[in-house]
A and B are shown apart, each in its own frame.
Chain A
């Protein structure tokens, strides 16, 4: 019993040392710039920048293949932070990649108008719409992520995106934005006004990614 524990521990330690040595001996130098850019991206891995994830986008920025304004989830905050890091001018978000949403919304179906076609149910990625063919549909507000995907398929335009008010139950601490503010102190006045705007926006609920 004791010998079994000892042997397994000894093996584990020996292998650990071997791997530790190998990780130093075969260390691969990754571009430090890519790491820094990657740290500023929101890591939603949503692919809206047309790259398969945040890290590939960071690599593309570092190689000069992509611009800094292609990240809708990061929005203006990320663009300013990237511009500061790379010494470029901040620019507005590229509309081809999507739009930044400041306010969390939820879909609401006008039940008088709904014809029960089920098209929005098929479009909903989180199954937040309840209903059946030729029956009135409704949205489960707590499940809805406000992604807007159900709006275009509706043939009678009965779905509205309504902003959600923050109440006592769903209020959360906002994410710390110390990195952004630290980077802003040396920035142009334009950027600082944007940052002030960001700080006011912190009172509104955090967007959900995706």
Chain B
């Protein structure tokens, strides 16, 4: 049990995918303008990340490894992720039109979120079991969601702040992200 808790703490805080591993920066900068969309994106990504982490583990363990086809890992994982995203889009479209409208173009963009592929590949690299893979994927998603929502909240405040002219827009957003990343370095001493 402690093992899973450790994985969770590790992925959410210490090895945060966005601010420490620098994966998934595209949605991090792109969808963080408004708190509402950021929350929707965070939910969708959480769902997809956990599911694709499990699915890619299963495919790797029971299909690729027994047949000695590990070199097909990347392309297979991309296929799995694309299918999971497409499936999620259909389900969301049917079950929650409101969320679908909020997410709009961003749901298909999860396919190209490198954090999703990163989690699947790191699972294999670190020899995670089934439950470990699921927890790892979920932890990564929670970490991503937390950082995305915090960042969106900050950007909403920055929008109304009196920012010097040369720093307006993307510049101040990148600086803020950098400062957040610095702050997250402080967690690296959390688990020794």
Chain A residues with CB under 8 Å of chain B are 3-4, 7-8, 11-12, 15, 18-19, 22-23, 26-28
Contact = CB atoms under 8 A, between A and B. Distances in A.
Interface string B86-118: 110011011101000000000000000000000
Nearest to B97: A28
16 contacts: A3-B67, A3-B69, A7-B64, A8-B72, A8-B75, A8-B79, A11-B79, A19-B86, A19-B87, A22-B91, A26-B90, A26-B91, A26-B95, A27-B94, A28-B93, A28-B97
A39 to B, nearest CB: 21
Interface of B is mostly: helix
Given A3-B69, A23-B90, A8 B83 contact: no
A25 to B, nearest CB: 8
B47 to A, nearest CB: 15
B140 to A, nearest CB: 23
Nearest to A19: B86
Nearest to B90: A26
Contacts of A7: 63-64, 67, 69, 72
A15 B83 contact: yes
B59 interface: yes
Nearest to B86: A19
A28 B76 contact: no
Contacts of B63: 7, 11
A26 B93 contact: yes
Contact of B94 (A4, A8, A15, A26): A26
Interface of B: 59, 63-64, 67, 69, 72, 75-76, 79-80, 83, 86-87, 90-91, 93-95, 97
A4 B68 CA distance: 9
Contacts of A3: 67, 69
Contact of A22 (B72, B87, B97): B87
A23 B76 CA distance: 22
Contacts of B59: 11
A8 B76 contact: yes
A11 B59 CA distance: 9
A207 B112 CA distance: 38
Given A3-B69, A7-B72, A28 B79 contact: no
B35 to A, nearest CB: 22
Contacts of B83: 15, 18-19
Interface centre among B75, B80, B90, B97 (most CB of A within 10 A): B90
B68 to A, nearest CB: 8
Contacts of B79: 8, 11-12, 15
A59 to B, nearest CB: 12
A206 to B, nearest CB: 31
A3 to B, nearest CB: 6
Contacts of A4: 69, 72
Which are the 6 A-B pairs with shortest beta-carbon distances?
Answer: A26-B94, A26-B90, A15-B83, A22-B90, A28-B93, A22-B87
Contacts of A27: 94
Contacts of A28: 93-94, 97
Contacts of A11: 59, 63, 76, 79
Contacts of A18: 83, 87
Nearest to A16: B83
Given A3-B69, A7-B72, A26-B91, 10 more contacts: A7-B64, A8-B72, A11-B63, A12-B79, A18-B83, A19-B86, A22-B91, A23-B90, A26-B95, A27-B94
